Amino acid sequence: MSGPTTIAAPQTDRAALRSEIRTAVLTLCLLAALLAPIVSHAGEMLRGTGDLAIVVERADGKVMIVDTTANRALAEVGGLGDLSHASAVYSRDGRFAYVFGRDGGLSKVDLLTASLVARTVQAGNSIGGAISQDGRLVAVSNYTPGGVKVFDAATLDLVADIPAQYAPGKLSKVIGLVDAPGQRFVFSLWDAGEIWLADLHDPAAPKVEKFTGIGTNPYDALITPDGRYYIAGLFGEDGLALLDLWHPEQGVRRILAEYGKGDAKLPVYKMPHLEGWAVAGTQAFVPAVGRHEVLVIDTLTWRQVDRIAVHGQPVFVMARPDGRQIWVNFAVPDNDTVQVLDAERHAIVHTLKPGPGVLHMEFEPRGEEVWVSVRDADQVQVFDTGTFEQRAVLPASKPSGIFMSARAHRIGL
């Protein structure tokens, strides 16, 4: 009786085995790549982005990613260029921050992997930007050359260029760019004294409606939280220009004729940021230009109904998300102070002294805490908005703007 017979595997079987091994390896690599975005730099799995934020560290051209639940820094992302007047918007899922630098740089930062995904220097001098209603387009407003450029949010490829030409051979600086309902962007032309409303349903052929003669040198603008009213401040004269986006056919009208520098032409140490207006219910709390006052405006009539004396010249006047508190910071020489106003009583209820160079404030989405950048102390400080107690201090290199990922779901931010 003969022994067992050994039969060699056919070449085709060995080839099939090698193919299966290669397929398994490729599958594992693909799975690792898919999981990588949900693993933070610290190895934490399945992290969301709803409680994340970025802090601009203007001196070093980088942003710090922070966890607003634990009040701690997670990572820093550098290589973002000149951030001396930087701002940011977010993708719809809150994962990507689009950072607008003063040097014309547009940078896409991944908050989950703490990495710079893409960057383009799209102009010589830019002043901010916005993301479209559907989250597919990112628009940048430019001083040099004057105009608005629009990019694909996924790739940062240029999809539209809207030169701000208001006369033959003349381009205007563009400021006050915001997103608006209806896949639109609204912006103002400093040199021309105009407001333009651009419909980007078809990025290849933007439809631009122009409103001329709105006032001299619009310097900043805002859109109300409901997306209805666009308001531009005027540097060259008193008053503001209002465009009702529900009825743009009615044109731009002047409101608050007394708002501005006034007859005395008071020295203005820093122009207020209109995007920091506080709208609470049917009231708007507005920084008075060059005065130690916050003005209270009835948003049904757009008339001033009160004024509140404060510590200095206000820069940002910001509402806690529930609208009950109004937080105010100030221009030099009073920029070491923050005051809190009661929105119902129009009265100061608390004064804080975070330190020299308070530049910006940002509330957590439900308003229980507020983050304050203190540039000259190289700190970000976190305060409880109920008790006013300091909850955390984070070291940061010349911090300025603070941007919560919750902005992804708010109009005009």
State residue 45's pLDDT score.
65
Q: What values do phi and psi take at 214, rounded to 5?
A: -85, -10
In one-letter notation, the amino acid at residue 388 is: F
Task: Please count the structural domains in the chain.
Answer: 1
Give just the sign of the alpha carbon dihedral 320, 241, 159, 147.
negative
State residue 35's pLDDT score.
46
Q: What is the mean pLDDT of each run of 10 residues along the chain (413 residues)?
A: 46 60 55 46 73 96 98 97 95 98 97 98 94 98 96 98 96 96 98 98 97 94 93 89 97 88 60 77 89 93 95 94 96 96 97 97 97 98 98 98 97 91
Domain contains 251: yes
Residue 188 vs residues 55, 249, 315, 370, 411: alpha-carbon distances, Å? 27, 17, 20, 30, 17
Give just the sign of the alpha carbon dihedral 324, 243, 153, 272.
negative
> Residue 127's beta-bridge partner residues?
none
State residue 333's pLDDT score.
94
Domain contains 169: yes
pLDDT tens-place string over residues 58-110: 999 999 999 999 999 999 999 999 999 899 999 999 999 999 999 999 999 99
Task: Kindly report the number of other CB atoms within 10 A of residue 205's CB atom.
Answer: 9
Give just the sign of the alpha carbon dihedral 257, 258, 264, 269.
negative
Write the CATH number for 153. 2.130.10.10
Task: Kindly report the number of other CB atoms within 10 A of residue 174's CB atom.
Answer: 31
DSSP letters for 180-209: ETTTEEEEEETTTTEEEEEE-SSTTS-EEE
State residue 157's pLDDT score.
98
pLDDT tens-place string over residues 7-32: 444 555 666 656 666 656 555 544 44
Give yes or no for a contact between 321 and 367, defined as CB atoms under 8 angstroms apart.
Answer: yes
290 — alpha (psi -120 to 50), left (phi > 0) or beta? Answer: left
Domain contains 249: yes
> Residue 62's beta-bridge partner residues?
57
Domain contains 116: no
Which residues 6+ apart lie within 8 Å of 119 measured at CB? 79, 80, 81, 105, 106, 107, 108, 156
- Quote the tokens at residue 176: 């006050």
Residue-number span of the structural domain to which 155 is assigned: 122-264
Domain contains 237: yes
The torsion of the CA quartet 264, 315, 343, 327, rounded to 10 degrees, works out to: -150
Domain contains 211: yes
State residue 361's pLDDT score.
97
State residue 23's pLDDT score.
59
Give yes or no for a contact between 293 and 308, defined as CB atoms under 8 angstroms apart.
Answer: yes
Q: What is the pTM of this model?
A: 0.87
Domain contains 326: no
State residue 5's pLDDT score.
44
State residue 154's pLDDT score.
98
Domain contains 198: yes
- Quote the tokens at residue 217: 């040198």
